[in-house]
């Protein structure tokens, strides 16, 4: 699958922690050897946006926060937009 196809699946979806991890695994497995064990958890929107720019892909990630009704901390999410 190409990076564009992977990215188009996630446009406009608020990616909370579980969704972010699934996206990062799919995205980085497409870029790198999927058989080499790599921890993608520390990869951020800054790195992904740099890759998108370098590959001339018309997408950008932004970060948002949603009020957590049962906790005292807002939940962070990533949002992918097509340029």
pLDDT in tens, 10-67: 999 999 999 999 999 899 988 887 677 777 778 899 999 999 999 999 999 999 998 8
Q: Which residues contact 20 (CB under 8 A, 6 or more apart)?
A: 77, 78
Q: What is the residue extent of each domain of the chain?
A: 3-82
pTM of the model: 0.83
Architecture of domain 3-82: Orthogonal Bundle (1.10)
Query: Closest Cα to residue 31, out of 50, 11, 16, 14?
Result: 50
59 - beta bridge partners? Answer: 82
CA distances in angstroms from 24 to 61, 67, 71, listed in the order given: 12, 24, 26
Q: For residue 55, report the phi and psi dihedrals to the nearest 5 degrees.
A: -85, 5
Model confidence at 1, in pLDDT bands (50, 70, 90)?
A: low
At 27 the pLDDT is 92
Residue carrying the six token digits 């699946």:
9
């Amino acid at each position: 699958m190409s990076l564009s196809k992977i990215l188009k699946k996630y446009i406009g979806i608020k990616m909370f922690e579980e969704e972010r991890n699934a996206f990062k695994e799919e995205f980085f497995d497409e870029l790198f050897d999927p058989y080499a064990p790599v921890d993608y958890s520390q990869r951020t929107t800054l790195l992904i946006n740099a890759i998108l720019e370098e590959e001339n892909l018309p997408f950008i990630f932004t970060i948002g926060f949603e009020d957590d009704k049962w906790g005292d901390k807002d939940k962070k999410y990533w949002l992918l937009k097509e340029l």
